[in-house]
Amino acid sequence: MEEALISKTQLTILSFLLTLTLVFALTKPEDGFVRAVDRKLLGLKKEKFSHFRFFWHDIYSGRNPSAVSIIQPPKNTSKNGFGSISMIDDPLTEGPELSSKLLGKAQGFYALASQNEAAILMSMNFHIIQGKYNGSTLTILGRNNVFNKVREMSVIGGSGLFRFARGYVLASTHKLDDPSKGDVVVEYNVYVLHY
């Protein structure tokens, strides 16, 4: 009985050592601080190409705005508000109505980054709260010239099921009722490669 126990223990140790040997054989050191890694060891399977569609609600008005101005530029420095920055926690919905199904939140900030036109630098995470992507995020970064019919920005990464994500978004204004309030609904079409 003890011999069988010893041989099972030895077999377990041998299996563990062989597994470590295999891992180190598949990951070749290229420098003192970096090495190539086989994507299968991280559980990454076949890369997918997906299209997501969201309606982004940027709301400055009302008792519970989803966008707030956090920095205003000094007066008389620019005709278009160059330098102003807003923080957002905007709803992402399935349809253009705010009452439609909530799919997630766009969280981040944007800043007027051009002295001559209404072009903003946008940095935000689309945090998904529905379906199999619940808890995953897509990170969007880019220039948004708000008066263009369609604007393109980059998907530069993600988390959860969007690890190693890359792609682009196309944004188009769906509804701008009262420019003095600043409330707007924008349709986002996200094209992303992910695992």
State the DSSP string of the chain.
Answer: -HHHHHHHHHHHHHHHHHHHHHHHHHS-B-SSS-B---GGGGT--S-EEEEEEEEEEE--SSSS-SEEEEE-PPTTS-SS-TT-EEEEEEEEESSSSTTSPEEEEEEEEEEE--SSS-EEEEEEEEEE-SGGGTT-EEEEEEEEETTSSSEEEEEEEEEGGGTT-EEEEEEEEEE-S-TTTT-EEEEEEEEEEE-
pLDDT band, very low/low/confident/very high, at 14 (cuts 50, 70, 90) = low
pTM of the model: 0.79
pLDDT band, very low/low/confident/very high, at 24 (cuts 50, 70, 90) = low
Percentage of the chain surpassing pLDDT 90?
65
Residue 110 has pLDDT above 90, yes or no: yes
Q: Which domains does the chain have, with CATH numbers?
A: 45-194 (2.40.480.10)
Residue 46 has pLDDT above 60, yes or no: yes
- Least confident among 12-26, 50-64, 166-180: 12-26
